[in-house]
Chains A and B, each alone.
Chain A
Amino acid sequence: MTPRFAPGVRLHHDTARQRWVVMAPERMFVPDETALEVLRLVDGARDVAAIVDALAAAFAAPREEIDADVRAMLDDLVARGALAG
């Protein structure tokens, strides 16, 4: 699976409040730190494995330990309408 943002959804830096927000049609939400790290790697080119690799490298974490968590996070973001599967 190669995650990408759902139509009309994008990550936006809210400079006035010093935070990142997910902007979507007629709604917005503030992702937690973990979700934000995942969302920043979603570019429509990286597949799930590549996203896991990037996070494993960035946080010096064993790949096999974070793999399930990242997949669960992606599923959750799809369920919330932020990402298209």
Chain B
Amino acid sequence: MKAPLALLAELTHRCPLRCPYCSNPVELTRASAELTTEEWARVFMEAAALGCLQVHLSGGEPTARRDIVAITAAARDAGLYTNLITAGVLLDAVLMARLVAAGLDHVQLSVQDAEPAGAERIGGMKGAQARKEAAARMVREAGLPLTLNAVVHRQNLHNLPLLIDTALEWGAARLEVAHVQYYGWALANRDALLPTRAQLDDATRIVTAAREAHRGRLVIDYVVPDYHAARPKACMGGWGNNFLAVSPAGRVLPCHAAESIAGMVFPNVRETSLREAWEESEAFNRFRGTGWMPAPCRGCAHAERDWGGCRCQAFALLGDAAATDPACALSPHHAMLADAVAEAGAADFRYRAFG
């Protein structure tokens, strides 16, 4: 068994934004159930001892936690490379300076669209775009490297060239152009978010050209949607293979969406060590490696490349987390993805909210 390389620390589900593709579960955790500063500090120490080299401080909005500076310092004390994944709307110069002093290494800032009106409609927060631009400036002035993360979909892909311009103007050295992945909130909004094949092909062409045009100045990472693919994505690089997440309430997960699989029980850092969870828990061993695979994955030449795709997607679309991901052309259910693309075209969102 390999040791994990990265920990996703979902510090809170609270967030001022209401993005309809939020990667948090549909059942959001309330503040009263969140891990304490001391509990997170222990998680970071255990993660580093287990082999993690970096931590993504995420949420929800991680800066919604009043102890975000102490949490950042604890992550650095544990020896982890600390990456803050933020919407930026709660950042101010004082907080930025305190985060830098605490040892923050890198900031990833989200942007919902290039134009304020579109961005604020998608994110569900008025005035967000100007705050994000100010946050980008603060990060750069603090001397930290900045990655801009643009989640793209049917309703903002027409602005992809402007999003690339935004990354350059805001001083980002990296841009992630990430097509929506359809779980949880995004699955509930799939008809409004799924791009057409023509949109996807345009986006791929634009990214390819921009990489060449801005070589040496802007690195662009590109995450494609699997609804148009013939091969599934190697979700998380394999279940329990090199990545783990801890939810706001302390549950240890092979991927941030894993709680969407009904019937699975995940270990909690309040009851077990991270090492026990990683090495011995039933949940982490359930889909680790290839032994669990049914046909057509079993014996497939791609089994150790794509690991059968995504367990959450198999559960969400087929009701069976052990099935081959329908994104694979070899799945007997592959046609349902093309059907979903054909049916898409809704205008309105169901915004993320506490139930």
Q: Does A50 sit at the interface, judged by CB under 8 A?
A: no
Residues facing A in B34-66 (CB within 8 A) are: 49-51, 53-54
Residues facing B in A1-37 (CB within 8 A) are: 6-8, 10, 12, 14, 16-17, 21, 23, 25-26, 28
Give the interface size class of chain A: 10 to 19
Are B147's CB and A26's CB within 8 A?
A: yes
Instruction: Tell me the complex Cα distance, A7–B174, Å.
Output: 12
Instruction: Tell me the complex Cα distance, A21–B143, Å.
Output: 22
Name the prevailing secondary structure of the A interface residues. Answer: loop
Are A25's CB and B83's CB within 8 A?
A: yes
Are B143's CB and A17's CB within 8 A?
A: no
Name the prevailing secondary structure of the B interface residues. Answer: mixed
Instruction: Tell me the complex Cα distance, A47–B78, Å.
Output: 31
Q: A32 to chain B: closest CB distance in Å?
A: 18
Are A8's CB and B105's CB within 8 A?
A: yes
- Chain B count of residues within 8 A CB distance of the other chain: 22
Q: A78 to chain B: closest CB distance in Å?
A: 11
Residues from chain B with a CB closer than 8 A to the CB of A14 are 51, 53
Give the A-B pair count, Cβ closer than 8 A: 45
B49, B81, B147, B221 interface centre (most CB from chain A within 10 Å)? B81
Are B53's CB and A25's CB within 8 A?
A: no
Instruction: Tell me the complex Cα distance, A6–B53, Å.
Output: 18
Query: A26 with B79: in contact, given A7-B143, A7-B145 (CB under 8 Å)?
Result: no
Select from chain B the residue with minimum beta-carbon distance to A14: B53
Are A16's CB and B174's CB within 8 A?
A: no
Are B53's CB and A28's CB within 8 A?
A: yes
Q: Does B3 sit at the interface, judged by CB under 8 A?
A: yes
Instruction: Tell me the complex Cα distance, A8–B176, Å.
Output: 17
Residues from chain B with a CB closer than 8 A to the CB of A28 are 5, 53-54, 81
Q: A80 to chain B: closest CB distance in Å?
A: 11
Are B174's CB and A21's CB within 8 A?
A: no
Are B173's CB and A25's CB within 8 A?
A: yes
Instruction: Tell me the complex Cα distance, A10–B79, Å.
Output: 11
Are B53's CB and A23's CB within 8 A?
A: yes
Instruction: Tell me the complex Cα distance, A14–B147, Å.
Output: 24
The contact sample of 23 A-B pairs, CB cut-off 8 A, is A7-B145, A8-B105, A8-B106, A8-B145, A10-B105, A12-B79, A14-B51, A14-B53, A16-B3, A16-B49, A16-B51, A17-B51, A21-B53, A23-B53, A23-B54, A23-B81, A25-B106, A26-B83, A26-B147, A26-B174, A28-B53, A28-B54, A81-B219
Are A25's CB and B143's CB within 8 A?
A: no
Q: Does B247 sit at the interface, judged by CB under 8 A?
A: no
Select from chain A the residue with minimum beta-carbon distance to B172: A25
Select from chain B the residue with minimum beta-carbon distance to A21: B53
Instruction: Tell me the complex Cα distance, A61–B16, Å.
Output: 60
Select from chain A the residue with minimum beta-carbon distance to B51: A16
Residues facing A in B108-132 (CB within 8 A) are: 108
Instruction: Tell me the complex Cα distance, A10–B76, Å.
Output: 12
- Chain B, residues 130-174, CB within 8 Å of chain A (1/0): the string is 000000000000011101000000000000000000000000011
